[in-house]
Amino acid sequence: MNLRKSVLFFCSLLIIGFSGCGGCQSGKNNAVLHNPKPKLLTPIFNADSAYNFVENQVAFGPRVPNTQEHIACSQYLIKKLKEFGADVIVQEAKMRAFDNTVLNIINIIGQFQPEKNDRILLFAHWDTRPFADYCRCSICFRCFQ
């Protein structure tokens, strides 16, 4: 009786071992084990390039809405994102400032692999504020009103 139990136990181990191995050609798990990693579709970060892109952005000068610098910089950012393969969404809107000035604003959204659920979300201001919240400088006319 002990020999019979030992043989059944050994056969059970063999069946479990072979069903879990990658040698079988049938089964769902083999497709996962043998598929190559998906190709990376996002750009690789490079500190020197990142610094250069920031330098290029700042070189436009103050990027205040309603100025040529604002428009030129937005076009530069859109072009660069597209060159890196991003799906680019441009949102344009008019906002009214506290002094009733209408500001033409532009949101630029660059997205990589939008079909994925797990992604990193990064927000940044690329433009320049048209005025400070609080300023005591000697050249800002808003400080003396």
User: Domain total for the chain?
Assistant: 1
pLDDT in 10s for each residue of the chain, 145 residues = 555 554 445 445 445 444 444 444 444 554 555 666 556 566 788 888 889 999 999 999 999 999 999 999 999 999 999 998 899 999 999 999 888 999 999 999 999 888 988 888 888 889 888 877 766 665 555 554 4
The amino acid that residue 74 corresponds to is S
Handedness of CA 81, 83, 89, 91 (dihedral sign): positive
Q: Is residue 20 part of a domain?
A: no
Q: How far apart are CA 23 and CA 10, in angstroms?
A: 20
- Residue 27 within a domain: no
Q: Is residue 39 part of a domain?
A: no
CA–CA separation, 89 vs 41, rounded Å? 18
Extended beta strands in 17-144, E state = 87-96, 102-111
Domain assignment present for residue 41? The answer is no
Long-range CB pairs of 88-92 (<8 Å, 24+ gap) are: none
CA distance 101 to 140: 17
For residue 79, being part of any structural domain is answered with yes
Range of the domain at 121: 47-144
Q: Which of 35, 33, 37, 9 is nearest to 21 (CA)?
A: 33
131 belongs to a structural domain: yes
